[in-house]
Amino acid sequence: MKGAREGKLQRARDAANKTAIFGEDLDLDQFIHEAPSHSDVENLSVLSQYDKKELLSAGVDPDVKGRSGSFMQIDHSVVHHDIFQDGLEIMSIGEALEKYDWLEDYYWHAVAVDTDKYTARAELHRDQGYFIRALPGVKTVFPLQACLFTAKNGLAQEVHNIVIAEEGSELHIISGCASSYEVRSGLHIGVSEYYIKKGAKLSFTMIHNWAEEFAVRPRSASIVEEDGVFLSNFVCMKPVKTLQMYPTTYLLGTNAVARYNTIVIAVPGSFMDLGSRVYLRAPGTRAEMISRSITTGGDVINRGHIVGEVADSKGHLECHGLILSKKGLIYAVPELEGRVSGVDLSHEAAVGKIAQEEIEYMMSRGMSESDATAAIVRGFLNVDIMGLPDELQQEIDRTVNMQGMF
């Protein structure tokens, strides 16, 4: 295993200055790496009320109500992990790598370590992250929650997460990323690898709640086997200076399914370059991507890419953007790539303002123009996510509704 790690390290060193394909090229030296270590938190409810509020906005419930487990990392320290259901595992990735020799085979298997300087940096530093696994056949009743939190201003936090849904299991995770109310700037690099085994189902909901000056570079990929289902939801309605990600899913087994839902609001000063990519590599595989973005003055690039490599595979991409202010940009780049006959790929994209017809229709029922607009915007952001437990859907609806800007 030592040899395997050495090989990865070498590739990381070689890629340490490799510019990413998308997104502003960040100077990694401007972020500090050293952070004080934080002591264990027995119970998330002891956190300060300000930090608790930040957690709540990222979908993480400090009172762990309706959760089957929790994980929390502050800066580089894993301060809390707890599980309330048999057959589930949640721990720091460091601990997991020590516990399971086989885990090194999953580490940098879905995401290439030398993708760019951000993945390279994550490997060179290995600043923890979480490991979550559902044993074969185990189904979670309540979602697990994982929180990656930064408390030190100007810090670069690099984490590596691995989630494994073993055969026939069902796992729901809310991953909240947030920063302390005292933090203004910093960098978060989050590598996440998801493995969905035969007949398993993973829903992964990532909610971001950063500070205005934050730079964020998630690097995620998932591998889905036969009859597996991967649902990925991303919600970001708070300011972020620069966010770039392009998670990728490989549907390798027959009838495997991937669904991506993205809901973002770009406020003035925010720049988001978002995308998702799915490779359809087995018959009967299906991919669906739905994105809803709103700008109130920030910039959003919405990419999507579906690659159909075998016959009898199907993909649909839907990208809708609303521009609610004079400034602001929404740039939709839907890409479909059919490599054989027998693939069925489609997309629809629409960017613009709210149709006057819709506003006036609502007004004809007695709503003022601003009430009508608010109702339409709330509807626009209200994506019904198929296959999510009600609990989680309500959680997302709550997050969407609590932003207070509408």
Partner 1 sequence: MIENLKVSLADREVLKGINLEIKPGEVHVLFGPNGSGKTSLLMTLMGFSNYRVTEGTINFKGRDITGMSIYERARLGIGMSFQRPPTIKGLKTRQMVALCSPGKEIQLEEMANRLNFKDFLDRDLNAGFSGGEIKRSELLQLMAQNPDLILLDEPESGVDLESISLIGEVINELLERKPGKSHATSSLERRSKRTKAGLLITHTGYILNYVDADVGHVLYGGLLSCHGNPRETLKCIQEMGYQECMRCMIRN
Classify strands 130-134 and 88-92 as parallel, antiparallel or unpaired.
Answer: antiparallel
* β partners of residue 308: 280, 338
Site for partner 1, residues 304 to 343, rule: CB under 8 A: 320
Closer to partner 1 by Cβ: residue 9 or 363: 363
Residue 383 interacting with partner 1 (CB under 8 A): yes
* Distance separating alpha carbons of residues 332 and 391, to the nearest angstrom: 31
Span near partner 1 by CB under 8 A; candidates 62-70, 173-181, 272-280, 359-367: 359-367
Residue of 37, 49, 365, 404 interacting with partner 1 (CB under 8 A): 365
- Pairing verdict, β 286-295 and 257-266: parallel
Task: Quote the DSSP letter at residue 394.
Answer: H
Q: How far is the CB of 61 from partner 1 (least distance, A)?
A: 25
How crowded is residue 139: how many other Cβ atoms within 10 Å of its Cβ?
Answer: 15
**Which CB atom, from 2 or from 365, has the smaller least distance to partner 1?**
365
Least distance in Å: CB of 363 to partner 1? 4
Residue 253 and residue 346: Cα distance in Å, rounded?
21
Binding test (CB under 8 A) with partner 1, winner from 363, 385, 387, 389: 363
Edge-to-edge strands, sheet with 343-352: 77-83, 69-74, 144-150, 170-179, 201-209, 229-236, 257-266, 286-295, 313-323, 343-352
Give the nearer residue to partner 1 in terms of CB position, either 28 or 396. Answer: 396
Distance in Å, CB of 266 to partner 1, minimum:
19
Does 357 bind partner 1 (CB under 8 A)? Our answer is yes
Applying CB under 8 A, the site for partner 1 has a residue count of 26
Nearer to partner 1, 333 or 350 (CB): 350
Q: Contacting partner 1 (CB under 8 A), which of 358, 387, 391, 406?
A: 358
Among the listed residues 234, 302, 289, the one whose alpha carbon sits nearest the alpha carbon of residue 257: 289
Is there binding between residue 401 and partner 1 (CB under 8 A)?
no
Phi, psi (degrees; rounded to nearest 5) at 336: -120, 135
Could you tell me the smallest distance in angstroms from the CB atom of residue 400 to partner 1? Answer: 10
Quote the distance between the C-alpha of residue 110 and its chain's center. 15
Q: How far apart, in Å, do the first and last CA atoms of the chain sit?
A: 53
Contact between 361 and partner 1 (CB under 8 A)?
yes
Nearer to partner 1, 40 or 369 (CB): 369
In this structure, the strands spanning 77-83 and 69-74 are antiparallel
389 binds partner 1 (CB under 8 A): no
Judged by CB, which is closer to partner 1: 232, or 373? 373
Task: Verify binding: residue 373, partner 1, rule CB under 8 A.
Answer: no
User: Which spans of this chain sit near partner 1 (rule: CB under 8 A)?
Assistant: 320, 355-358, 360-369, 371-372, 375-376, 378-384
